[in-house]
Chain A
Amino acid sequence: MTLTAKDKKMVKAFWAKVAGKAEDIGCDALSRMLVVYPQTKTYFSHWKDLSPGSAPVRKHGGTIMGGISLAVASIDDISAGLLSLSELHAFQLRVDPANFKILSHNILVVLAVLFPNDFNPEAHVAMDKFLAAVGRALSEKYR
């Protein structure tokens, strides 16, 4: 399920529309993930406040969206573009890759909430494929 030229065009166009709200998207997606999938909280036991919209959640949501932005810019070779992030996740963070799907789902929910008209089925399938590709790139160095 590789990204076609059509997918890449759609992702870039859609990202251009939503990038202005990247921090809000990241904050809301991460907040939802921690509430709806409480097992993900195990990765953040070092944070004082895990409640939706808290300062560490907002900051980290922004960090994650920075990575997504980088992936959009590297869409022709996501693995190369995300190489150092991939090594970070493999050797230091060691986040179970199943969680990439969980966070991706929550990003899609937030896109639906914030952009109900732009996030049509064609944008949805392109973003779903793109986020899956990002997850794959991040897991590349795991074993």
Chain B
Amino acid sequence: MVQWTDFERATIQSVFEKMDYDDVGPAALSRCLVVYPWTQRYFGNFGNLYNAAAIQGNPMVAAHGKTVLHGLDRAVKNMDDIKATYAELSVLHSEKLRVDPDNFRLLADCLTIVVAARMGAAFTADVQRAFQKFLAVVVSSLGKQYH
């Protein structure tokens, strides 16, 4: 089981409480599709993804970005057993969605960049460490049921 310090717990709750999901979700997913264009392979039916402007203006990308970000809520509420919390989602991503789990790491990196941009100086090195540790646990849990 992952050990969390009081600082880490408080930091994760605080970062997500203050987060504007409607802004951060779409921003993170669209950034991922621009910075790592091969991730577009999973969104063939999303319409126009031809360039950065199209991606950032695409309503299906925006909607899906919000969905994915809200998917993190469960981990934020169950930090002591993220692995069990995500077992079902891991199976879904493996067997139905067939997403290469390396993509979770790519999206996590983009989310880190977006949160850093929104929080500015408040995104200190210690906050960054806690946030990246949290995302690493999420990423690992989502990949656990692949076989």
Residues of A within 8 A of B (CB): 31-32, 35-36, 52, 105, 108-109, 112-113, 116, 119-122, 124-125, 128
Contacts and interface: CB of A to CB of B under 8 A. Distances in A.
Interface magnitude class on chain B:
20 to 34
B20 to A, nearest CB: 14
Given A105-B109, A109-B113, A36 B56 contact: no
A108 B109 CA distance: 10
A119 B56 CA distance: 14
Closest 7 CB pairs of A and B: A121-B34, A116-B117, A35-B125, A112-B116, A112-B117, A36-B129, A125-B35
Interface of A is mostly: helix
Interface string B109-147: 100111011111101011011001000000000000000
Given A122-B34, A124-B113, A113 B121 contact: yes
Interface string B4-41: 00000000000000000000000000110011000000
Contacts of A121: 30-31, 34-35, 52, 55-56
Interface in B54-107: 55-56
A109 B120 contact: no
B131 to A, nearest CB: 9
Contacts of A113: 116-117, 119-121, 123
Nearest to A127: B35
A34 B55 CA distance: 35
Contact of A109 (B35, B56, B116): B116
Contacts of A32: 125, 128
A119 B110 CA distance: 12
